[in-house]
Amino acid sequence: MKPAFNTPDWVLAALQQRRQHDLMRRTVTLASPQVPHAVIDGQDYTSFCSNDYLGLANHPELVRAMQASAQQYGVGGGASHLVCGHLAPHQQLEEALADWLGYERVLLFSTGYMANLGVISALAGKGGVVQDKLNHASLIDGALLAQAPLRRYLHADVVSAEKLLSKSANSGLLVTDGVFSMDGDLAPLSALSRLAAEHQWMFMVDDAHGLGCLGENGRGSLSLEGLDSASLPILVGTFGKAFGTAGAFVATSHDYADYLTQFARPYIYTTAMSPAIAGASLASLQVIQSAEGQERREQLASHVSYFRQRMQSLPITLMASDTAIQPIIIGDSKAAIQVSDALRSLGIWCTAIRPPTVPAGSARLRITLSAAHSEADLVLLCDSLEQVLTTED
């Protein structure tokens, strides 16, 4: 017999408010691998809301590497990196990432959220943290965890950022996403890097949605902007997007890495990622660096170009994104759910994104494209959007 819970009134009121404003979140269970043609609730759909941008989450090389690592090193890390949980696959992955990106050191974290919490809470100084207004929640929460002053500049606005840095009597940490997760646009990294150097601030970029997909050899926003480890001393990346696995890392200098090892609490007090995942992530990096990885990036870019060309005839305004993230702003949350449901009836799975994930009045379809999509998948998506959005209009 299940226990009867006495739920506080304020919990019930908060849930009811979410329901009334069409903001209730619910989990969806996939009964298939993370592939474009997914099975959800027993139905077949073509999915356009996964962050598996290069289509590596079910890649046979990654599956084999994970199995081999698990066979040799087991499944669990067993302890934190600083106790006895740092296994050979972790070290191999760190060294390969550092070599790929041109940094002295890399530290692994269990998730991207934990990486951002750990780095920002450890490095936020007296000057606090200055961030882009549309930064990911984990970047904002890192500053809150540090109990440091937090100021946010207008989105991608270097002049706005400079005003905030100029007002501070102490240096701190300037933080931005490389690719913004809900809009798909790019941060002005070169200008922000110069601004940080001029004011002697630390500069940190979370390139979760850029690494693997963009730039030479898939090196992300760093490569696109012509930056290196000197001009971008703290780079955070994740494995849960283009890499197709799980976990995260920070690429930095020896000194910063040593400091984070002492003071980044989510690194110190968390069990290390599975060595099997580390092995799979290393295999993913090898694919990303190979000719196959380049072919997948070119395929993804072709999909983006086709999608944007097809959408020009519809009564929508595309956001300034040339990345895999192609949002269509609907505005009202209820209307966004209706459009998502209409697409679902046509075999397209694309979840409506609503506040507080995005600003009020900007509920949207966050369409994400993958190199694993076929040309037929893109045609189906665009035909379905034409049908639904024309009807809605």
390 is known to lie in a ligand binding site: no
209 is known to lie in a ligand binding site: yes
Catalytic status, residue 126: no
pTM across the whole model: 0.94
25 is known to lie in a ligand binding site: yes
Catalytic status, residue 223: no
Read off the pLDDT of residues 299-330 as tens digits, 9 standing for 90 and up.
999 999 999 999 998 988 788 999 999 999 99
How much is the pLDDT for 193? 98
pLDDT confidence of 21, banded at 50, 70, 90? confident
Give CATH 3.90.1150.10 domain extents, the chain.
Answer: 28-53+292-392
pLDDT confidence of 392, banded at 50, 70, 90? low
Question: What CA–CA distance (Å, rounded) separates 43 from 48?
Answer: 15
Assess whether pLDDT exceeds 80 at residue 3.
Answer: no
Check if CATH label 3.40.640.10 holds for domain 60-289.
yes
Give CATH 3.40.640.10 domain extents, the chain.
Answer: 60-289
How much is the pLDDT for 326? 97
86 is known to lie in a ligand binding site: no
Q: Of 59, 90, 209, 373, which one is the catalytic site residue?
A: 209
Axis crossing angle, helix 275-289 with helix 60-73, rounded to the nearest 10: 150
Please report how many Cα atoms fall inside a 13 Å half-sphere around the Cα of residue 201, on the Cβ side. 30
Catalytic status, residue 50: no
Instruction: List the strands of the sheet with 363-368, edge to edge.
Output: 325-331, 363-368, 352-353
357 is known to lie in a ligand binding site: yes
Q: Of 241, 303, 340, 384, which one is the catalytic site residue?
A: 241
Fold classification of 28-53+292-392 (topology level): Aspartate Aminotransferase, domain 1 (3.90.1150)
Assess whether pLDDT exceeds 80 at residue 263.
Answer: yes
Q: Of 181, 193, 281, 333, which one is the catalytic site residue?
A: 181
Contacts of 376 (CB under 8 A, 6+ apart): none
325-331 vs 363-368, strand pairing mode: antiparallel
